[in-house]
């Protein structure tokens, strides 16, 4: 089986949450790699791609078909708006990419399947969505 065929089969068998997680992982890694290389063009490309991911998410959150609770949608939209504004500064080299990476990783942590044994024990060290980020 070719790599492309495997990827297509993998994508067809995953749920929306898994697809979103994978997208965040891909774009977060790209920003990390661009930041470590200190390559301006690669950083711009990585941040622009991440910004497009958040714009896509923003459009989905604003869709009538989105079934997330309104409170969660509002908090995610607030983050999406911030990502849009901050990304412009990061692409110009006026701001660090690190806060974008941190936000993506927090979102990814929230998407991970919960261990049923630990679900009844809240983790006070883990930031909750809506917690003010020090950016």
Structural domain spans, the chain: 12-111
Largest CA distance in the chain: 46
Q: Determine which helix (DSSP H) or strand (DSSP E) holds 45, and give its type and residue range.
A: helix 40-62
Q: Which CATH class is domain 12-111?
A: mainly alpha
What pLDDT score was predicted for residue 113? 73
Instruction: Say if residues 20 and 111 touch (Cβ distance below 8 Å).
Output: yes
**For 67-102, what is each residue's pLDDT tens digit?**
999 999 999 999 999 999 999 999 999 999 999 999
**For 18-49, what is each residue's pLDDT tens digit?**
999 999 999 999 999 999 998 999 999 999 99
What pLDDT score was predicted for residue 12? 65
Among 81, 108, 100, 123, smallest CA distance to 20 is for: 108
H-state helical runs in 14-39:
16-37
DSSP per position, 68-118:
S-HHHHHHHHHHHHHHHHHHHHHHTTSS-SHHHHHHHHHHHHHHSPPPTTT
């Amino acid at each position: 089986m070719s790599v492309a065929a495997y990827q297509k089969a993998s994508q067809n068998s995953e749920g929306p949450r898994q697809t979103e997680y994978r997208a965040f992982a891909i774009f977060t890694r790209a920003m990390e790699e661009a930041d470590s290389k200190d390559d301006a063009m690669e950083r711009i490309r990585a941040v622009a791609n991440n910004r497009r991911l958040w714009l896509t998410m923003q459009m989905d959150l604003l869709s009538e078909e989105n079934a997330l609770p309104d409170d969660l949608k509002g908090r995610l939209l607030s983050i999406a708006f911030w990502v849009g504004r901050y990304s412009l500064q990061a692409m110009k080299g006026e701001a660090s990419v690190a806060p974008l990476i941190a936000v993506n990783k927090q979102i990814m942590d929230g998407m991970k399947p919960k261990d049923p044994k630990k679900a009844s024990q809240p983790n006070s060290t883990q930031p909750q969505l809506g917690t003010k980020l020090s950016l």
